[in-house]
Structure 1
């Protein structure tokens, strides 16, 4: 450990083979570089140093830029930059031992720009550090041994400039020069104690009826709100017409009227703020203009969901101060306080006695009934057929139909709380296990919890009736999103995010569960979208139900034509690699926004997507796969290459799901795949 704080590992010849300065987290110290392509990531909180919500990247174009995490390096997501872009690809961020924060040329160590001049005199009693803080601001601190650390410089003066500072569907505003987070109209905080999680809709989303939205929704207007969210529609029109247009538009959740232009937006909303003096920015640079005052219109439902959530603030309000002016007043306060304490203690003692007695009686009754009553809180729910029949109103509203049965919309009630669910009615499943084995298996499946898996809430097993109860997903399936020709295709960045969501969900099933689970039917119809358009895999419990041996087993053909791995037809043992193959087909469909089999094409080579993709890959003509769409070419090549590796004939050649995720994230290099001879419809 050097005096600078660098932890260095040497080999036997005293040559450095590893040092902590090459792998910064949220901080660089005096004498340390942040080299080209590397990033700082903020912490979750002052006490939790896991990866937080913001990142600072030293880009290859020479620009030092701050973004929210889980965003690409796009100007629309940047909220601060050093404005040194376009000069040299060899810049480093460097903090010297006197506190100077510099951008230097890595080739000749020449100073290109000073972010903070600092001192020219070195002192061995002062330590400097530059940190990307929890709130997203980049600050330079100095530490002296006998005093508290002080801030020497900070990148941003107004924290409302930090994009995604307040989370989804909320906006930042200043109160006494301090940032506050409030929910946008029609939403409440997901968790009032953790405002960074953002807000969610607090009213019921009705079915879309074009031109009749005003019967279900009202418009709420707010002045002086600005946003950097990209609109899906922009046109010139009067303010009143902008409000009416959003109300009657099924897709519109909010509209922003500014300088005679109406911009329509969809949930989730990320970059709202209430401050008319904030500068307009493009790729982290000030444009020289300030954001013009604008009016925002929000669509709010007439049917609200009960909510008592309060609005948190970053700084708690000051506590009231009691001022005493005489000994008489002090004595009065003491007497009242002692009386109140005595009364409170007596009340608590009596209440505790009666509560204890009530709980003991209740526990005895539960023991007599043969159950502890606590299992239901922590395990998968078991429902009667009558309960599910009532919840679905006699299986009235069908959401979809698959190879193993139909899915119906239902509503379960727990007291006054209403929860929407999706009920899958298994019609073609032959269950050979007994009642005890089936229930035990469902409880194992119920332990799977991941943000990219549709949650299995419960089941029904009465006689030959088998039903599964899942959480309700409001935005349909990935197939609806990709293959509906009459609507616009999802944006490229959105498709990349969805591909990663699906990969992480499969990784959890394969490697992070107590027992590996083979899905057996990965396809766009089984990938559903939640309220915030996050992708979640559904029906992941079906493979567990049909195949008790989760790692390797013989079984009949399961799945959907076009997504089946070759080993299904070879009577060989099935492993998790069948899911890898199906994911490869789905990944190519996500990239190209078309089905694997498409007969209505002018070129016969384009009928089978997997075969066409390999031909374009070999010919270095990947642009043909996305047409005229503007995409990141390097990222396009990476996604297609991963897809081609996943659909190899031999299971041993296919990567594991962990390797797939690492390749998609750009962490692992990818070699050139051989020709996938099985790239044809099954």
Structure 2
């Protein structure tokens, strides 16, 4: 392992020259800023270590993480600043990851600044690389988030890998909070700054070091310089020259502005200056409570609940969502599997996403369950046949042309009493299979008046009502 070079002492241990290294097991484990407010190096995560930047205080506040989706490293890891301008994380013989690089520039030294920015410089003191250009979930005073760039939340307050939410500085000047992996459509955000103006100007989010404008959106195209379009923050707070401002999209999906400062007793304090008032109710944060769960508000405190038939994946972390608490039904169906399917009423529910199909049915149309399921019986018939035969309703690349359209192929086999051709190699209850096929074929009749009501469909599937022989759903195609 390389030793710390003399230049580190020349810069009072606040800078590091090529050839220097850091290790989680051998001091120094971190490179501090001149005031000691920030540090760069190894921090503890779980049973290992991550490389990042933190605000010093009673507890480390992580503000940046390198390669944040990589797994933690162990005590044998080291950070090495090479002479060709790369900062490498070495985890074993021949195993290395690039943390930072200078684009073929000559590195003179690396340093941790009191702003929280970790930089690589050349001999002319020009910055060749800086952590401020690659934010993770946090912005600090003096840092900008350009148009079309994002912050991504952490998975939790102790795990700094990518989480479920992102903050996007849009090209139109609107600052928006999204669930990650959403479609970025107009109904996907759960909060917006409503500062959208145009797509001609260039906007960016800026964290200021002043009390009057700590968080603002700036028009970079304005002839008057920095044009503050929207100010967000607590104007009653009065900081000082040592106050550090931090804007973070926390793991719960809420953007918050914090101030870090020392009180009269020189103790580190943290104060939340601002967050969107709309998100005081956690139920307004889309997807926070995970799959198969929903949010309720009890005396203004949000709570997470599992849908019927599911339990929490982890009861101690309810926002991870819920999982099925019953055995999975086989695709080909069967009498025993019918007990696994139930309908439950869910009253006073608000659905935030628009439906892809909307067809109201009356409660009395569902006899076994007092539920009001926006459903279309034709769509249900198509889906029923797809589930029974484990294939899509239209498969173009079939070797036999008459098998391309599932409904046509099913009816032909049904009419010829050859349904066994559709379930080759499977052991099935032929009478039950025939019953489900007849129900599916009735549902997809071309003439709407021939299709049964959802009430009749349920009665037929439960065996209460006898199912008549259906006509061909598409006579011209047979």
Normalization by structure 2: what TM-score?
0.49
Which has more helix, going by share of residues? 1
Normalization by structure 1: what TM-score?
0.35
